[in-house]
Amino acid sequence: MEFEFKENEIKFERELSNLDELVIEFTKILEKQKIDYVIISGYIAILFGRSRNTEDVDLFIEEISFEKFNVFWKELYAKGFECIIESNPKEAYYGYLKNQTPLRFAVKGTFIPNFELKFPKTGIDNYSLENKVKVKLNNEILYTSKMELQIAYKLYLGSDKDIEDAVHLWQEFKNSLNKELFKGFVKRLKVEDKIKELE
């Protein structure tokens, strides 16, 4: 798989999977409602060619008002999605999102895969949203967190699956990473001892 790099942009082509198409459909609803988002965690490795399954796609969304969330909620339901942990939009917003508890949405009648939405709560969370990378997959556009942060954070999480995700992304992007930025995240997340896992 060949990637074309520009500043804060990655462009490539490949055949879309069912999961890719679902992610594109979901993020288009966010775009339509003008809700800023960034995809984080496991799906990024899958997007860039790692062959594995995932039960969820994690996203940070900008902190929005209940009124805006309610419009988004109605649009999701109109497009065939539903919240799988709470049926009342007011409780979903105030009881979950505002309490830093993720919400999960899936195609109606299913549970997997699902989309885990949360508001940013840390400096790194906000950084990922404010410094997202534009990904052009065929003619579609998605936004992901920076690879420098993604790889370091996967090392921080530290499970076998996370380490394998980090290794995959490192192999694909090591020649295009901002090494100083990467080292900064490695230091901030205190994963210096895990760098050897990447080679």
Q: Is this prediction's pTM over 0.85? A: yes
Among candidates 144, 97, 89, which has minimal Cα distance to 116? 97
Domains of the chain: 4-146 (3.30.460)
Whole-number Å distance between alpha carbons of 186 and 147: 12
Structure confidence by residue, pLDDT tens digits, 134-174: 999 999 999 999 999 999 999 999 999 999 999 999 999 99
Among candidates 14, 51, 34, which has minimal Cα distance to 168? 51
